[in-house]
Amino acid sequence: MTERVDAVVIGGGVMGASILYNLTKQGLKNCVLLERDTLGSGSTGRSSGLIRMHYSTKVNAELSWKSFPYFLHFDELIGQQKPQFIKTGFIAIAGPASTEGFYKNVSIQKKVGIDTNIIDLKQAREVAPGFHFTDDEVFAWEPQSGHGDPSGTAMAYAKQAEQNGARIILKAPVNEIRIKNDTVFSIHTEKETFETEIAVMATGPWSNQFLSKLNIDLPLTATRHEVFFIKRDNNLLLNHPSGADMTNMTYFRPEGNDMTLVGNGNREHVVDPDKYNLKPSMDYLEDVWLRLAKRMPAIAKGQYFTGYAGLYTSTPDTHPIVDKIDGIDGLYICTGFSGHGFKLAPAVGICMSELITKGRSDFVDITALKADRFSKGNQNEISYGFRVIS
């Protein structure tokens, strides 16, 4: 069956769902989202869900800041029941080697409007009791940050997009993006063909599978990341804020009243997105648990509860590619978030819909996320060796 549509979004993670919804808000009601499996079944469903705004660059800081109101007021701004958001506060911790960049980054964030402040050692101990800090470390505190529900957010965007007139087709992997005269012509699944002049690849770790068929080479890698939960003894360590520890290379957040989620974004491995180990390895558990215990000594007496592995789509500068594809009219790409996608998704969906319908993004200047920055030597500079907190 063949039909004509305004646009096709490929990929049903939180990014694709946000783009679909925002296209309907821009007036493109007859849009289709094609998802190879189920909504949120890729990177979105295995995200840690952290929502924070500590970044090295203005573009990521602004995207996170302008996304933040949607996590707080999703029901009012989008129209669906608000997915879960839990405010925990967020503490960023850096050692002497990162101090200069740390202060610069907080200055950038404050200019954007983010509610963040440098705090001293005494204040750090007040917001994070039970943590071990040293005199030569520096700290930033985001009192409003926390964690949310990536899959629930994707589903809420998708539901509202459908109510606005869009369609979502699951279990419909795309076989071909057909190009005619250097212009998007049609999108093909096993059962259906959609003729359109606009196609958006929000395809995450599967992006290279599409790009290679179009002879497009972008520096994207599918990498495996791991996280796990530790059950704490609340007599030893009460609930704590979320955080990023650049000294010990861990990120963490509370889960419920007595558990802690922890990960290390630097221990990533390139994998086949269709075949990878879904559980964290024993050596990872031992290494990251020891790192976390240096910051939270009481966690050493905790108990392993569960863990999982998921996929990042990584770029050399840890910043996404949000752009039109040069040389092919109507083809757009939104991928490479390197572990940051969920917390940026509300703003990125708006930016991408503006880029498609107006030729530019007014909501946030996304020039720094162009696809050609790698070939032109314009990569974004990040301050920390801890890639997941870039």
CATH code, 22: 3.50.50.60
Q: What is the pLDDT of residue 1?
A: 84
One domain for residues 238 and 261: yes
One domain for residues 127 and 232: yes
Give the integer Cα–Cα distance in Å for 344 and 64: 5
Give the integer Cα–Cα distance in Å for 209 and 203: 9
One domain for residues 96 and 119: yes
Q: What is the pLDDT of residue 150?
A: 98
One domain for residues 141 and 226: yes
64 falls within a domain: no
- The distance of Cα 247 from the centroid of its chain, to the nearest Å, equals 22
271 falls within a domain: yes
172 falls within a domain: yes
One domain for residues 113 and 242: yes
72 falls within a domain: no
One domain for residues 179 and 105: no
One domain for residues 227 and 109: yes
Range of the structural domain that residue 112 is part of: 89-145+221-314
Number of domains in the chain: 2
Residues 6+ apart with CB under 8 A from 289: 230, 262, 299, 300
One domain for residues 228 and 284: yes
Nearest-10 Cα torsion for 46, 262, 15, 86: 110
> Residue 2: helix, strand or coil by DSSP?
strand
One domain for residues 310 and 238: yes
Nearest to 153 by CA among 265, 75, 257: 75
CATH number of the domain encompassing residue 231: 3.30.9.10
107 falls within a domain: yes
One domain for residues 105 and 14: no
CB 177 within 8 A of CB 216: no
Nearest to 139 by CA among 294, 246, 59, 298: 246
Q: pLDDT tens digits, the chain, 390 residues: what are they? A: 899 999 999 999 999 999 999 999 999 999 999 999 999 999 999 999 999 999 999 999 999 999 999 999 999 999 989 999 999 999 999 999 999 999 999 999 999 999 999 999 999 999 999 999 999 999 999 999 999 999 999 999 999 999 999 999 999 999 999 999 999 999 999 999 999 999 999 999 999 999 999 999 999 999 999 999 999 998 888 889 999 999 999 999 999 999 999 999 666 788 999 999 999 999 999 999 999 999 999 999 999 999 999 999 999 999 999 999 999 999 999 999 999 999 999 999 999 999 999 999 999 999 999 999 999 999 999 888 777 677
- Between helix 58-72 and helix 99-112 the angle, nearest 10°, is 50
- In the chain, the N- to C-terminal Cα span, in Å, equals 45
pTM here? 0.97
125 falls within a domain: yes
| Residue pLDDT, tens place only, 292-313 | 999 999 999 999 999 999 999 9
81 falls within a domain: no
| Residue pLDDT, tens place only, 313-363 | 999 999 999 999 999 999 999 999 999 999 999 999 999 999 999 999 999
One domain for residues 118 and 227: yes
One domain for residues 304 and 335: no
80 falls within a domain: no
